[in-house]
Amino acid sequence: AWAASGKTALTKMVYNDQKVQQHFQLKMWHCVSDSFDVIAIVKSMIELAINDMPKEEKEKVTTGNWYLSGNIELLQKKLNEVIGRKRFLLVLDDVW
């Protein structure tokens, strides 16, 4: 009943709204598929958060091989490092 009902279009409209822009310090949009992969989602969140940082902040973030890791605890620590106490919006958009 919900297929092709415009959920993604409505979500994009809200996501791009000026009030939403001002309310959240970080916004992340991740497309998920049938196989819901938590590791891939957390890695995507880390990458999106790092890409959103100003250059001088990016330089302070420790590099390491976190992107090669399948260790959820290590990835959670990295996510906490890059997001910290920022107010963020995460949209998980299904594409199946």
Residue 90 pLDDT grade (very low, low, confident, very high; cuts 50, 70, 90)? very high
Domain locations in the chain as residue ranges: 7-94
66/46: higher pLDDT = 46
**pLDDT-wise least confident of 14-23, 62-71, 85-94:** 62-71
Beta carbons within 10 angstroms of residue 15's beta carbon: 17
Whether pLDDT at 80 is above 90: yes
**Cα–Cα distance between 76 and 83 in angstroms, integer?**
10
Residue 88, SS3? strand
Q: How many helices (H) and strands (E) does the chain have?
A: 5, 2
pLDDT tens profile 34-50:
777 899 999 999 999 99
Across all residues in the chain, what is the average pLDDT?
87
